[in-house]
Amino acid sequence: VPAGSRMAQEGYAWLQRNLQGEEGERRLERARRFVSIARELGVDPAPLAIAWCLRNPNVSTVILGASRVEQLQQNLVAPQLVTRFDADTWRQIEATTA
């Protein structure tokens, strides 16, 4: 758990429990695949995840969970990513989360 991350803070034991066991390992593996494809595309995973949410027609609002100015600045790239990639790339991104 990275120092300074939410998961390292007091009161987030529930989050740590979500990443334990077989189901937790499956979640982590999906996250690893997502990070890998983000790196292949040359983008940070957080704004790519936000862009993925923005593309979902069933999502009306995306809330940024930034706790530092640097995170907010990084996340504000997300709207540009929505149109940066073609449908095939988005299908590939989607497949990493399955």
Q: How confident is the model at residue 25 (pLDDT cuts 50, 70, 90)?
A: confident
pLDDT of 45 reads: 95
Of residues 75 and 97, more confidently modeled: 75
Q: What is the DSSP string of 9-76?
A: STT-HHHHHHTSHHHHHHHHHHHHHHHHHHHHHTS-HHHHHHHHHHH-TT---------SHHHHHHHT
pLDDT of 16 reads: 77
Q: How confident is the model at residue 22 (pLDDT cuts 50, 70, 90)?
A: confident
Cβ count within 10 A of residue 49 = 20
Mean of pLDDT values over 62-86: 92
pLDDT for residue 77 is more than 90: yes
